[in-house]
Amino acid sequence: MALRIGAAMHIENLPNAKAVYIHENIDDLSLTVAERIAASAAQAIGARGVFHLVLAGGETPRRCYDKLHNLAIDWAHVRLYLGDERCLPRGDAQRNDTMIRDTLLNRINIPAGNLHFIPAELGPRAAAINYASLLRGVAQLDLVLLGMGEDGHTASLFPGNPATESGEVAVPVFNAPKPPAERVTLGLSILSGARQKIFLVAGAGKRSALKLILEGASLPAARVGAAEWHLDRAALPDQ
Ligand code: 6PG
């Protein structure tokens, strides 16, 4: 059960937090976020006939995606996107869309035309141009899921990397410190402009970045406005 942060805990000072939820463990975190996704999908589809959902990469969201296929989601009206992708060949085990196929797509019935993943095999520049033109057809993303790296990056927006300062919708990334060096990422403006943003942050490895953000460091994860943070206890900086 998520503990809604009261005034007692300093973690509520996350600078861009719309809400902060602390979960006992990653399993509880994953189930709660999966249920949030299902609720947002129902609301968006009821209001606008479509739910534009941006999935996060990395390892943390795996369990959340694992739980989604058990929930009542009208996948025929869900359009899936990616917040970032690694410039690797299609089907490479290290691609984010491979993880999403394994944890979600192979277990749900969603029309192939609803999948809008990043053609990162084209290389950073061509893939970013391709993806930006696709996204121009979307007035507003409904929900963006985001992870946070140990250095405070989110999507493939890394501290000190020029891509993080780009105003573009889809941005080529070079010299990323987390392999592979070449990636494509959604830019900060489109991420912040989504109706809803949810961070999934778990594990002791994220403590130092959270601590820096609480101390005012303007790390990329801290620059996504009005986000809902879901943290497990292991990620909390020492009280
Ligand atoms: C990627 C991810 C990246 C990820 C963070 C956290 O392509 O690597 O999109 O932004 O969300 O690095 O990764 P973990 O969840 O594995 O800690």
206 CA: nearest ligand 1 atom: 17
Specify the residue with its C-alpha closest to ligand 1, atom 8. 58
198 three-state secondary structure: strand
Q: List the beta bridge partners of residue 217.
A: none
Phi, psi of 124 (to 5 degrees): -55, -50
59 CA: nearest ligand 1 atom: 16
Q: What angle do CA 105, 59, 194 make, to 5 degrees?
A: 70
Q: What is the DSSP string of 20-68?
A: EEEESSHHHHHHHHHHHHHHHHHHHHHHHS-EEEEEP-SSTTHHHHHHH
Which positions of the chain have pLDDT values less than 70? Answer: 1-10, 239
Q: Which of 84, 94, 150 should be mutated for ligand 1, with most atoms under 8 A from CB?
A: 84
154 CA: nearest ligand 1 atom: 10
Closest alpha carbon to 201 in 6, 9, 14: 14
**Percent over 90 (pLDDT), the chain:** 92
Sheet holding 196-201, edge to edge: 3-4, 17-23, 227-232, 196-201, 143-146, 51-55, 78-82, 115-116
Residue 201 token pair: 């942050």
Residues 199 and 151: their CA atoms lie apart, in Å, by: 15
Give the residues surrounding ligand 1 with Cβ less than 6 Å away.
56-60, 84, 86, 96, 147-149, 153-156, 178
Residues 206 and 93: their CA atoms lie apart, in Å, by: 24
pLDDT for 13: 75
153 CA: nearest ligand 1 atom: 10
pLDDT for 9: 45
pLDDT for 3: 56
96 CA: nearest ligand 1 atom: 7
Residues 90 and 123: their CA atoms lie apart, in Å, by: 11
Q: Which of 88, 92, 150, 178 should be mutated for ligand 1, with most atoms under 8 A from CB?
A: 178
Specify the residue with its C-alpha closest to ligand 1, atom 9. 57
pLDDT for 16: 78
Name the pTM for this structure: 0.95
What's the CA-to-centroid distance between 59 and ligand 1, angstroms? 6
